[in-house]
Amino acid sequence: MTTPIISSEPELGTAGISRPTGIDTVRVADLITQLLVELGEDPGRTGLIGTPDRVAAWWNAFLSPGGAATATCFTESHLNDQLVIVGGMSVWSLCEHHMLPMNLQVTTAYVPNGEVVGLSKFGRIAQHFAARLQVQERFTRQLAEHLTGVIGREDIAVAVRGLHLCMSMRGVRMEDARTTTVHARGRFRTDPVLSQQFLTVTTRQWAAS
Ligand SMILES: Nc1nc2c(ncn2[C@@H]2O[C@H](COP(=O)(O)OP(=O)(O)OP(=O)(O)O)[C@@H](O)[C@H]2O)c(=O)[nH]1
Ligand SMILES: [Zn+2]
């Protein structure tokens, strides 16, 4: 039987936002020691002393990066037709098929309607959804769906450009491959001008980076 590439749906929509944080670092360090042995290494040699603890600490930090997926909003009653694009955000996640890093460059956009969202929150929310074993497409959708809840309307667009180490440092070994995913909702689906403005700004930012 073929294993589906996107095989699981660990978190639907905005559900599961308060994921349990913290792992058993002692147990994880012990497992890393076992892995080193299986890989033919001597976990007691000088260079590897402390490695299992460091790896366990890294997993702990990766899975619970701090910062909730909540957003601070400010009333701006006169603002109801401006396009706000926050780009240049870069987060690291782990591909769930190979457990190798993927770098995700994220651009988000929305149209305020009497309220603006604190800009840093777009980055924090992106970090929140990156801090797990992921696939880029699911990350993109989770971010868009969560932001829809934050602004209380559907007028959200998210574009992500991914560099997958499983595709560049191993396997097919294509170092320049980049994957682009776009999730447009509300007016970003129905208004071609808005959609075009979003894509133009996004692609210009990516070209410049
Ligand atoms: N759609 C999608 N695929 C991904 C993502 N990250 C990794 N993959 C792919 O997951 C697939 C796993 O394919 P498999 O055939 O099971 O694994 P594999 O033999 O290691 O495949 P190769 O990478 O081609 O060597 C690969 O094609 C990866 O490129 C992602 O974020 N989204
Ligand atoms: Zn992979």
Sorted by where each begins, the domain ranges of the chain are 25-63, 73-208
Which residue's C-alpha comes closest to atom 30 of ligand 1? 135
Which residue's C-alpha comes closest to atom 32 of ligand 1? 135
Closest Cα to residue 136, out of 86, 181, 87, 105? 181
- The rounded Å distance from CA 2 to ligand 1 centre is 13
- The rounded Å distance from CA 60 to ligand 2 centre is 21
166 CA: nearest ligand 1 atom: 23
In sequence order, the β-bridge partners of residue 73 are: 117
Of the candidate ranges 17-26, 38-47, 94-103, the one whose mean pLDDT is the lowest: 17-26
142 falls in which pLDDT band (50, 70, 90)?
very high
94 Cβ closer than 6 Å to some ligand 1 atom: no
Q: What is the DSSP pairing of strand 179-184 with strand 73-75?
A: unpaired
Q: Is 97 annotated as a binding residue?
A: no
Mean pLDDT of 132-161: 96
pTM of full prediction above 0.95: no
5 Cβ closer than 6 Å to some ligand 1 atom: yes
Place of tokens 């007028």: 155
In sequence order, the β-bridge partners of residue 103 are: 92, 163
Q: Per residue in 152-209, pLDDT tens?
A: 889 999 999 999 999 999 999 999 999 999 999 999 999 999 999 999 999 999 998 8
164 Cβ closer than 6 Å to some ligand 1 atom: yes
Using CA atoms, how far apart are residues 107 and 89, in angstroms rounded to an integer?
7
Q: Per residue in 39-82, pLDDT tens?
A: 999 999 999 999 999 999 999 999 987 766 788 888 888 888 89
- The rounded Å distance from CA 198 to ligand 2 centre is 29
Asked whether the ipTM of the predicted complex exceeds the cut of 0.90, the reply is yes
171 CA: nearest ligand 1 atom: 25
Q: Where are the beta strands (DSSP E) in the chain?
A: 73-75, 84-95, 101-110, 115-117, 133-134, 156-164, 179-184
Q: Is 73 annotated as a binding residue?
A: no
95 Cβ closer than 6 Å to some ligand 1 atom: yes
135 alpha carbon, closest ligand: 1
Neighbours of 68 (CB within 10 A): 11
Q: Is 98 annotated as a binding residue?
A: yes
Assigned CATH class of 73-208? alpha beta
CB 71 within 8 A of CB 121: yes
